[in-house]
Amino acid sequence: MTIRLLPSTTVNRIAAGEVVERPASAIKELVENSIDAGAKQIDVIIRDGGRSFLSVSDDGRGMNAAELTLAVERHATSKLPNDDLENIQTLGFRGEALPSIGSVSRMTITSRVADSDSAWMINIEGGDKSEPEPAALSQGTNIEVRDLFYATPARLKFLKTPKTENSHALDAIKRLAMAHPSIAFSVGDGTRTMLKLPQAQGNFLTARLDRLDAIMGNEFAANALAIDAEREGLHLSGHIGLPTLNRGNAALQFLFVNGRPVKDKLLFGAVRGAYRDFLAHDRHPLLALFLDIPAESLDVNVHPAKTEVRFRDTGLVRGLIVSALRHALAEAGHRASTTVSGQALGAMRPQTAPQHFQGSYGGASNSPVYPSSGLQEAARDFQAPIDQLTNLDRGLSVKHVPGDQVEEVPDDWPLGVARAQLHETYIVAQTDNGIVIVDQHAAHERLVYEDMKKALGADGIKRQGLLIPEIVEMDEGAADRIAARASELAELGLVVEAFGPGAIVVRETPAMLGEIDIKGLINDLADDLAESDEALDLKERLADVSATMACHGSVRAGRHLNGEEMNALLRQMEITPHSGQCNHGRPTYVELKLADIEKLFGRR
């Protein structure tokens, strides 16, 4: 056995295996370099998914001949002036990208430092470097990469279709562009423009919202809540979508730490935690969150691709995210996304098929044209009145007003005056400038859940005794399951006891449910318990248990409600947080503005 040092080309190709996984990662590294170089305009060209050709040009500070020679050496960087890995302020710091890319492709770098007489160019082919020679370029740096991975055929085999590689590349560029709204970006294939983002104007927050709007589509902007929270030197900002605007995967969740796009398990977990109450586990919200954290509390030197980070205090980060998101969602009150009415209108319109938001976001070009309230209004809604929160304390004590006695819609009734109930399931209400249709069952389910949560956190769930206790007969296993949970159920407002083999006696029920179908409820609960994990406390499954309870309460679907009951439900929705969606993220109501209805009839 002979131990020897590997030649530098081999070392670089090994590093390239980690740094450049696919064309998108090469593009990401090059664009990061342009951002670090202070560019104001970055132009990317991708052909054949980046496999045959890609280039990145910028108007940044550029490199002279000596710097060019050094830049393509491994571990050569201008970005760690004090060798201080504890305090990284730039996107790059490892000095690995250029030598890695150069070792597996044919790369040409042309660059010009401002005020210098000429530009310089250097070539690297499969790791072989040329001497720098004079070249023509007016400013900044242009890097062209041909035949990526030609020198590592094994990697070449793993590339997907050009279309897929192209979309990965666009994704990487968009992520960087979101965090740097003051830089203009363009992406094309040499003939066609795929993405064009002008330099966003205004103060940083306005500029960033503009950029998010341009990248994620105005559906997101119109249905997003602003986040701005601070805790012990950590700052969290950005925008999160209402739960009713959700997707089957997390592709539209963008997380950044100190301006660096990251895919971090801890952060995704915190987001999931914050939305857990509002979304089924297989649905995902849309969001762009920016965490700013003192560089010394963070380690970005985790992986060569630099998309993972480690936090010194993970509890603090998680706590900040969960509480900031929950707070914003609570302030949103009963708001449901405008998409909901957009889809409703789309479905009603005779010819124009509803344009659904694409699974992969595609920028302004394919963003849908919903009759949404637009950015302006969304921005106003970001400052949702705090008194919605204080209103929560009013709990169930809402005014009971029969709808037919109300002529004008009071200002503080955003969900309007109930005018009718249709199919014993939908409440139709008249608002100032439109109509609201409420799914009474979905809404009630949510109200019961929020109410139970609140009562459990305060002085417990109110019960109401039955004049005549009800006996429910069921099979023995089912009765045992219920009896075994008697003390937990009592905490949730349902007082039961075993009544001989195969029967349960019910003495008290949760007051908030009103009149209740006891037999149906007990049977369904027994079924729920059979399916669920025995170790799990019922309170941890409150969303499910309360939904089952609501199903048998007085407002369930198929039940006639009088005007007073309908209006009480609307008023309660208005003061209950998260009441715009049911426990699974479906909307509880749809609002159609008069303007939209007029469009339906061709009046506009």
Helices (H), 180-299: 204-216, 218-222, 265-275
Q: How far is the CB of 60 from ligand ADP (least distance, A)?
A: 5
- With H, G, I as helix, E, B as strand and everything else as coil, classify residue 296: helix
Q: Select the binding partner of residue 46 from Mg ion, ligand ADP, none (C-beta < 5 to 8 A, by kind).
A: none
Is 20 near ligand ADP (CB under 6 A)?
no
- Among positions 330-389, residues that touch ligand ADP (CB under 6 A) are none
**Contact of 450 with 393, CB cutoff 8 Å:** no
Q: Select the binding partner of residue 93 from ligand ADP, Mg ion, none (C-beta < 5 to 8 A, by kind).
A: ligand ADP
Is 461 near ligand ADP (CB under 6 A)?
no
Is 60 near Mg ion (CB under 5 A)?
no
Q: Which residue has the tokens 């029920």?
A: 509
Is 307 near Mg ion (CB under 5 A)?
no
Is 23 near Mg ion (CB under 5 A)?
no
Give the torsion through C-alpha atoms of 327, 331, 334, 335, to 10 deg. Answer: -100
Report the C-alpha gap between 245 and 240 in whole angstroms.
Answer: 10
- For residue 130, the 8-state DSSP code is P
Is 59 near ligand ADP (CB under 6 A)?
no
Is 97 near ligand ADP (CB under 6 A)?
yes
β-strands 253-257, 287-292 pairing: parallel
Q: In terms of CB distance, is 128 or 540 closer to ligand ADP?
A: 128
Query: How many C-beta neighbours within 10 Å does residue 529 have?
Result: 21
β-strands 184-188, 41-47 pairing: parallel
Choose which of 9, 52, 64, 78 interacts with ligand ADP (CB under 6 A).
78
Choose which of 27, 65, 98, 262 interacts with ligand ADP (CB under 6 A).
98
**Contact of 203 with 256, CB cutoff 8 Å:** no
- With H, G, I as helix, E, B as strand and everything else as coil, classify residue 443: helix
Is 58 near ligand ADP (CB under 6 A)?
yes
Is 71 near ligand ADP (CB under 6 A)?
yes
Q: In terms of CB distance, is 78 or 425 closer to Mg ion?
A: 78
Q: In terms of CB distance, is 83 or 534 closer to ligand ADP?
A: 83
- Structure token pair of residue 549: 């309870």
Choose which of 141, 421, 523, 579 interacts with ligand ADP (CB under 6 A).
141
Mark the segment that binds ligand ADP (CB under 6 A) among 46-54, 73-81, 120-128, 216-224: 73-81
Sign of CA dihedral 49, 54, 56, 57: negative
Is 96 near ligand ADP (CB under 6 A)?
yes
- With H, G, I as helix, E, B as strand and everything else as coil, classify residue 238: strand
Angle at 268 between CA 260 and CA 314, to 5 degrees: 80
Q: In terms of CB distance, is 99 or 363 closer to Mg ion?
A: 99
Q: Which residue has the tokens 């429910």?
A: 472
Query: How many C-beta neighbours within 10 Å does residue 463 have?
Result: 17
**Contact of 325 with 274, CB cutoff 8 Å:** yes
Choose which of 49, 60, 92, 241 interacts with Mg ion (CB under 5 A).
92
- Structure token pair of residue 477: 């296993």
- Among positions 533-562, residues that touch ligand ADP (CB under 6 A) are none
CA end-to-end span of the chain, whole Å?
84
- Among positions 94-123, residues that touch Mg ion (CB under 5 A) are 97
Is 63 near ligand ADP (CB under 6 A)?
yes
- Among positions 27-46, residues that touch ligand ADP (CB under 6 A) are 29, 33-34, 37
Mark the segment that binds ligand ADP (CB under 6 A) among 94-102, 267-275, 433-441, 460-468: 94-102
Is 94 near ligand ADP (CB under 6 A)?
yes
Give the footprint of ligand ADP on this chain (CB under 6 A): 29, 33-34, 37, 58, 60-63, 71, 76-79, 92-98, 141
List interacting residues with Mg ion (CB under 5 A): 33, 92, 97
